[in-house]
Structure 1
Amino acid sequence: MRLRVRWQTVSFVSWSILAMIGGVRADDRPNIVLIMADDLGYSDLGCFGGEIATPNLDRLAAAGLRFSQFYNTSRCCPTRASLMTGLYPHRAGVGRMTFDAGQPGYRGTLRDDTVTIAEVLGSSGYQTMMVGKWHLSLTPDGPRNAEWVGHRLDLGPFSDPATYPVNRGFDAHFGTIWGVVDYFDPFSLVRGTEPVEAVPGGFYYTDAINDEAARMIAQADDDRPFFLYVAHTAPHWPLHAPPEDIDRYADTYADGWDALRDSRYRRMIDLGLIDPETAPLPPRVQPDRSWDENPHQPWEARAMAVHAAMVDRMDRGIGRILDALGEQGRLEDTLILFLSDNGASPEVPGRPGFDRPSHTRDGREVVYTTEKEVLPGPETTFAGIGPMWANAVNTPLRRWKAETFEGGICTPLIAHWPAGLGVEGGTITAQPGHVIDVMATCVDLAGASYPTTFEGRAIAPMEGLSLVPILRGGHREGHDVLYWEHFGSRALRRGGWKLIAPSGRPWQLYNLAEDRTETVDRAVERPDLVAELSALYDAWAARDLVEPTPE
Structure 2
Amino acid sequence: DQRFDTIRSLGNKHIVTPHIDSLVHNGTTFTNAYIMGSMSGAVCVPSRAMLMSGRTLFGLEGTGKTIPEEHLTLPEVLRKAGYTTFHTGKWHQDKKSFARCFSTGTNIFFGGMGNHWNVPVNNFDATGSYPRNQRYKGDKHSSELFSDAAVRFLRDYKDDKPFFVYVAYTAPHDPRQAPEKYRQMYNPEKIVLPKNFLPEHPFDNGEMKIRDEKLAPWPRTPKEIRRHIADYYAIITHMDAQMG
Q: Secondary structure at the match of 1:229?
A: strand
Between the two structures, name the one with larger relative contact order (CA 8 Å, sep ≥ 6).
1
Query: Partner amino acid for 2:189?
Result: A
Structure-1 residue corresponding to 2:239 = 314
Structure whose residues are more often strand by fraction: 1
2:63 paired residue among 79, 96, 104: 96
Per the TM alignment, residue 79 of structure 1 is displaced from its structure 2 partner at its CA by: 2.0
Structure-2 residue corresponding to 1:215? 152
Contact kept, 8 Å, 2:119 with 2:137, in 1: the verdict is no
* Cross-structure match for 2:136: 197
* Structure 1 residue 164 displacement after superposition: 5.8
User: 1:410: which partner in 2?
Assistant: none
CA distance in 1, matches of 2:136, 2:229: 32
Bigger share in helix: 2
Inter-CA distance 63–184: structure 2 relative to 1 (3 Å threshold):
same
- 8 Å Cα contact 2:5/2:11 also seen in 1: yes
* 1:232 counterpart = 2:169: yes
AA of the residue aligned to 2:108: G
Q: What letter is aligned with 2:109?
A: T
- Unmatched segments (≥5 aa) in structure 2: 38-42, 125-129, 202-219
1:112 counterpart SS class: coil
Q: How does 1:242-253 map to 2 (within 5 A)?
A: 242-249=179-186, 251=187, 253=188
Distance in 2 of aligned mates of 1:287 and 1:73:
22
* Corresponding position of 1:72: 35
Look up the equivalent residue of 2:135 and give its one-letter code.
V
TM-score by length of 1: 0.36
Residue number in structure 2 paired with 1:117? 74
Tell me if structure 2 keeps the 8 A contact 1:185–1:204.
yes
Are 2:129 and 1:129 aligned? no
Q: Is the contact between residue 220 and residue 226 of structure 1 (CA under 8 Å) also seen in structure 2?
A: no
Give the drift of 1:168.
1.7
Q: Choose 110-119 or 46-55, whichever is displaced more.
A: 110-119
Secondary structure of the corresponding residue to residue 9 of structure 2: helix
> Which residue does 1:334 correspond to in 2?
none
How much does 1:305 deviate? 2.2
Identity %: 28
Gaps of 5+ in 1: 1-38, 99-108, 138-160, 262-280, 289-293, 320-551
What does 1:363-382 correspond to in 2, within 5 Å?
none
TM-score normalised by length of structure 2: 0.76
Equivalent residues of 1:164, 1:177 under 8 A apart: no
CA RMSD of aligned residues (A): 2.7
Q: How does 1:14-33 map to 2 (within 5 A)?
A: none
Secondary structure at the aligned position of 1:180 is classed as coil
Structure 1 residue 254 corresponds to structure 2 residue 222: no
Change (3 A) 1:47 1:295: closer
Q: Where do 1:443-522 residues align within 5 Å? A: none
- State the match for 2:20 in structure 1: 57
* Aligned positions, number: 213
1:62, distance to aligned residue in structure 2 (A): 2.7
Would you say the 8 A contact 1:246–1:309 is kept in 2?
A: yes
Pick from 170, 178, 181: which aligns with 2:102? 170
Bigger radius of gyration: 1
Deviation at 1:84, TM superposition (A): 1.9
